[in-house]
Amino acid sequence: MKATKLKMAVLGVASAFSLFAFNVIKGGSIKGTVTPTASATGVMAISMTDTMRADITSGAFSINDVKPGTYKLVITAAPPFKNFEKEGVMVSDGNATDLGEITLQSSK
């Protein structure tokens, strides 16, 4: 009986400590706008381990639930515009990285 109570107490204490051992990652986001508004077809955030995609609607994009880290942003453009790439986009836990307005260049 004493051994069972002791095991239950140890198990309870271990369970309580394990609750504090895990750090919850909220993720961040990358957002911005593209001009001309109809020039872009999609956006990607690429890291060593992840590729996140989002649509561009009315020139605006938001890539949500992005793990903290450094990304390369790629915006795919419709002709006659060039694709856009930006290296070193930093995302931190729980924060939005706002890239502001991105103007696509004509390929002509």
Q: Which residues contact 34 (CB under 8 A, 6 or more apart)?
A: 40, 43, 56, 59, 60, 61, 75, 84, 101, 102, 103, 104
Q: Which residues contact 49 (CB under 8 A, 6 or more apart)?
A: none
pTM of the shown model = 0.75
Query: How does pLDDT run across 61-86, given as a tens digit for each residue?
Result: 999 999 999 999 999 999 999 999 99
Hey, where are the domains in the chain? 26-103
One-letter-per-residue 3-state SS of the chain? CHHHHHHHHHHHHHHHHHHHHCCCCCCEEEEEEEECCCCEEEEEEECCCCEEEECCECCEEEEEEECCEEEEEEEEECCCECCEEEEEEEECCCCEEEEEEEECCECC
Residue 19 has pLDDT above 50, yes or no: no
pLDDT of residue 34: 97
Q: Which fold has domain 26-103?
A: Immunoglobulin-like (2.60.40)
